[in-house]
Structure 1
Amino acid sequence: MEQTELVFIPFPTIGHLSSALEIAKLLTQRNPRFSVTIFIIKFPFETIDGMDTDSDSVRFVTLPRVEVSSGATPSGLFLSEFLKAHIPLVRDAVHELTRSNPVRLAGFVVDMFCTHMIDVADEFGVPSYLFFPPSAAFLGFLLHLQFLHDYEGLDINEFKDSDAELEVPSFANSVPGKAFPSLMIDKESRGAEMLLHHTRRFRHVKGILINTFIELESHAIQSLSGSTVPVVYPVGPILNTRRGSDGGQQDASAIMSWLDDQPPSSVVFLCFGSMGSFGADQNQGDITCVRAQWASLLVVPSPTSPKG
C-alpha cells in the first residue's frame, strides 16, 4: 500500500499549532495511507513550549531559527516578512523529506498566515490547502473586505472609530466598524495590507479546512458556497482534550461542573486566540451586559494580560 505524505505548515502559536496537529491526527486515523510531517517555525521569541504526538503517522520537523530585523518594518508587515523568509528552509526540508522517504508527496496544508508557502507547493507540483483556525464567518468577512478593497476601492482604515456598519454575507447582522479587528484598522501597522495579501492567496488553494461545523455556522458556511471561493471543508470541532497539570484538571472539572448546573442556552462563551485578550474596560462592559440578561456568569480572565 503506497504511503501518501502531506506537509503541514502551521502558524507558530499554540492555538494554530495544536489544532493543526489534531487535524493531522484525524486524517491519519481516518486513512492509514496518510502520513503527515508538520514543519515547526520558530519565532524570535518563544510562543510554544514544545509539541508531541502519540501518532506514529505524524512527525515534527523543526526548522532552523531565522533572524529577521524588524528595523523600520511596520508591525503588521513584520510577521508576514518573517514567515516569508522561511521559504528556502521549507523548500530544502521538503527536498530532504522526499529524498529520504519512499512516499508520494500529495500536497501542502498551509496556515492562513503562511500563504507564502503556496509558492513552494507549486514548485513541487502539488496542490495547496488552507487551514483556517478561526470561524467560517470570519473567513467570509476577510474575503468580502478583500473584494470590496480590490474591486470597489474600499479603504478599510476608514472604519476606525466609525459608527458605520458593513453588510457582510457571512454574518446574519451588519458588522460595526468599531468591531473590526484592531490590526485591520491601524494604518501605522499596515495590518490591513498584510491581511489582504494573505486573503487574496486564499482564493488560489484547492480547498479550505475550517475548524467549525455546519450546525454551528450554517449561515456562514452556506455563504461561502459561491464559485469564487475554493471548496470549504468544515472539519471541526477540532479539540485538544488532553490535560496538562493536575491543577489544570481540577480547574477544568470545576468549570464543567458549574456549566452542567446552568440552564440550557444560558451561557455566553467568549474565546480568544493564544495572543488575544480584551482590556479591563471591555471585560467589565461584557460582564455588565451579560449580567443584565443572565443571573449566572463565569469569568476566566487571561493571566498573561495585565490589562485584561
Structure 2
Amino acid sequence: MNDDATASNRSCDQNPVPGLPLYDLAGFTHRWIDAEGIRLHAVEGGRPAGPTVVLLAGFPQTWWAWRKVMPGLAERFHVIAIDLPGQGHSERPRGSYDTHTVASRVQAALDAINVPKYWLVAHDIGAWVAFSLALKYEERLHGVALLDAGIPGVTLPDSIPTDPERAWKTWHFAFHLVPELPETLLTGREREYVGWFLKAKTLSPNTFDGAEIDHYAAAIAAEGGLSASLAYYRDAAESARKNHDALERGHLTVPVLGISSSHGSIPDMAASIGPWAENVTGAFIPEAGHFIPDEQPDATVDALTAFIDHQPVE
C-alpha cells in the first residue's frame, strides 16, 4: 500500500462493514452519513472553506481509487470521496441499485452534511450514478466530470461486441446479468476476478500491487459486496429507462467534462456525451488505460483543476 496510508482495524459503531480493514489517507478523516436510512462511508479533507469536490469510484474499486488524486485536489478544494451503496465501507442495502435510486442516496448524504453545491467527479459505475444525479439534481452542481464510462441508456451500447479485439472490455456486462451464476463461480475467487480487471484494463499491468488487489477483493467479498456490485449491472436496464425519461424532459445544462485516455474503454467521452448535454468539453490523458486516476493521477488533478477554473464563479 501507499506509504501515506496505514491499515487499521479501528472500531466504529457506525461502520457497517467492521471486518474489512479501513485504510487511512494523511490529511483525511472517515465518517459515516445517514442517507435515506442507509449508512454511506465518506472520506473528507482538504480546505474546509474551498469549493467542494465529490468523488465517486466504480467497479471493482472503492473510495481508495482516488487516493493518489485526493492530496493534489486538497491543496485547493474541500474533497469528499464517497463509497457508493454496496461499495467499500458503505452499507449494502437490499433493493434497487438503479442509478437514480443510488443518486438520491448520494445527494441525501451530501444534504446531511450541509454541502449546498459541489463539483462532481466520477469514474466507471460512479459515472453512471453521477450522470443520473446530474439529471435529478442539476441545481446542486457546479459541474460534473465523467471518466471513461459508458452510461446506461445514453452511451452504453445495447449489444456487447463479439469481436475479440473489443469484447474483452465489455464481456462482463452480460455475465453479471445472469442470475446466481456469477455468485456461484466467484465466491471465494474474488481476488482472481478483481485482479484480472485491474491488470487487463490498465496500460501497465503493474499499476496495482498485490496489496491493492487484496484490498479491492476483500471489499467485494465482505458483507454482501459481491451481490451489491453485480446489482448495478442487473439494474442497468432500469437506470437506462430512468435516464431516457429524464432526458425527454430536457438535456443537461450543467458544465460537463468528459475525460478519456489513450488506452481506455471510451475513445472520446466528450463526443459520446455531447448529444445529451449543452455544455461539454473534453480532456485527453495519455499513457493510461481505464483506471485513469490510478495510472495518471497528476494529469487527472490538472484536468479537473483546469475544468473548475475555467467555469465562471457563481
Q: TM tier, shorter chain?
A: 0.3 to 0.5
User: Over alpha carbons, which structure has the higher Rg?
Assistant: 1
**TM-score, L = length of structure 2:** 0.39
**TM-score, L = length of structure 1:** 0.40
Query: Higher relative contact order at CA 8 Å, sep ≥6: structure 1 or structure 2?
Result: 2
